[in-house]
Amino acid sequence: MPISALKGIIPPVPTIVDDQGHLDQAGMAALLERLIASGVNGLLLLGSGGEFCHMPPALRKEVAAFAGRQVAGRLPLLLGISAPGTEEVIDYGRHAASVGADAALVVNPYYAHLTEEALFRHYRRIAETLELPVILYNFPALTGQELTVGLVRRLALACPNIVGIKDTVENPGHTRELVVAVKGARPDFLVFSGFDELMIDNLLDGGDGGVPATANFAPDICCGIYRAFCEQDFASLLLLQRRLARLSRIYALDTPFFGVVKEAIRLTGLDISPAVLSPTLPPSDETKAELKKVLITAGVLPATG
């Protein structure tokens, strides 16, 4: 599928596993099929919300291959190939290409901080080695190091195979500058918001959409915002954005949010395993009760009693 089709709502899909940490193929297939039917514009597997950081290499490759077979070209498929070392990223990237990914998502190396020149050379080597289009992933709250606007612009102009960025930052000004400085210099460069409630800022500034985890269980809200924006239906956009603002409270319920998203998927009607990979803990009964309240407040679940 052409990379130009990669716009709009791209949920970071959770990895469905059983209590032993093995891929639950039936649950994974059911979730992917529900998402494909929901109207989302693409799928991201093995991103942060996909728990890649807690997976052994064999499981990461199993999930990637399963996703490639299940999606089978029906939507653009992004696969996360992030790792601290350049050669490991390239290995995951080659595997992603072999199983049918349309693009690869790469967060900057974590643990050791790097100079900007080292980051540039890391990404340039990945882009020059892989045929698969590369999307940068900026998540400084987790990596401890930001991909600066200047670095992203330099990479975008030097590496045609680096085609976009997922910008997961609390400051919408950073994403806006990416749109102005990078997309302005290279109009085909894609800029996505990583935080759900900031997706509308991204679109208004000229960006390309978002990667909202809430789209896994409330795609009508997220896809509705994108559709309303494209159709300039600002009355609907306002109402949906307010619902999304309420819904985004789920991320404050537990750390990390992996189990909360899976529980939300279950509460909205898909019977999947809620298991998470160690060392993450499943949400407590109290957290589950709070989650249900948030879903009701946002109109995702009907009010009870």
Task: Flag whether 304 is in a domain.
Answer: no
CA-based diameter of the chain, in Å?
59
> Mind telling me the catalytic residues?
48, 111, 137, 166
Q: Which residue has the tokens 């603002």?
A: 245
Task: Flag whether 11 is in a domain.
Answer: yes
Q: What is the pLDDT of residue 65?
A: 98
Which range of residues forms the domain containing residue 91? Answer: 3-297
Distance CA 130, CA 41 (A): 24
Task: Flag whether 204 is in a domain.
Answer: yes
Instruction: Provide the residue count of the chain.
Output: 305
Distance CA 168, CA 170 (A): 7
Question: Residue 277 is encoded by which pair of tokens?
Answer: 């990979």
Distance CA 148, CA 173 (A): 12
Burial of 11 (0-12, 13-18, 19+ CB in 10 A): buried
Distance CA 304, CA 179 (A): 43
Q: What is the mean pLDDT of residues 200-228?
A: 98
Question: Residue 147 is encoded by which pair of tokens?
Answer: 């991909």
Tell me how far apart the terminal alpha carbons of the chain are, to the nearest angstrom. 47
Q: Let me know the angle formed at the C-alpha of 53 by 58 and 11, rounded to the nearest 5 degrees.
A: 100
What type of residue is 192? Answer: F
Distance CA 263, CA 82 (A): 26
Q: Which residue has the tokens 């514009």?
A: 41
Q: What is the CATH number of the domain that holds 61?
A: 3.20.20.70
Residue among 77, 70, 74, 18 nearest 45 (CA): 77
Whether the pLDDT of residue 159 is over 60: the answer is yes
Task: Flag whether 303 is in a domain.
Answer: no
Number of domains present in the structure of the chain: 1
Helices (H), the chain: 25-38, 57-71, 86-98, 116-129, 140-143, 149-158, 172-177, 199-205, 219-230, 234-247, 258-267, 285-297
Task: Flag whether 302 is in a domain.
Answer: no
pLDDT-derived band at 1 (thresholds 50, 70, 90) equals low
Reported as a single tens digit per residue, the pLDDT across 116-136 is 999 999 999 999 999 999 999
How many CA atoms within 13 Å lie on the side-chain side of 247?
28
Question: Residue 127 is encoded by which pair of tokens?
Answer: 């882009």
Reported as a single tens digit per residue, the pLDDT across 192-212 is 999 999 999 999 999 999 999
Distance CA 268, CA 250 (A): 14
| Percent of the chain whose predicted confidence (pLDDT) is above 90 | 97
**SS3 category, 134:** strand
Question: Residue 122 is encoded by which pair of tokens?
Answer: 């890391």
Q: What is the pLDDT of residue 304?
A: 77
Q: What is the mean pLDDT of residues 217-221?
A: 98
User: Which residues, other chains included, contact 295 with Cβ-Cβ below 8 Å and sequence gap of 6+?
Assistant: 247, 264, 267, 268, 301
Q: What is the pLDDT of residue 2?
A: 63
Distance CA 250, CA 246 (A): 8
pTM: 0.96
| Integer angstrom CA distances of residue 27 from 23, 55, 63, 160, 183 | 9, 18, 12, 37, 38
Reported as a single tens digit per residue, the pLDDT across 244-303 is 999 999 999 999 999 999 999 999 999 999 999 999 999 999 999 999 999 999 999 999
Task: Flag whether 104 is in a domain.
Answer: yes
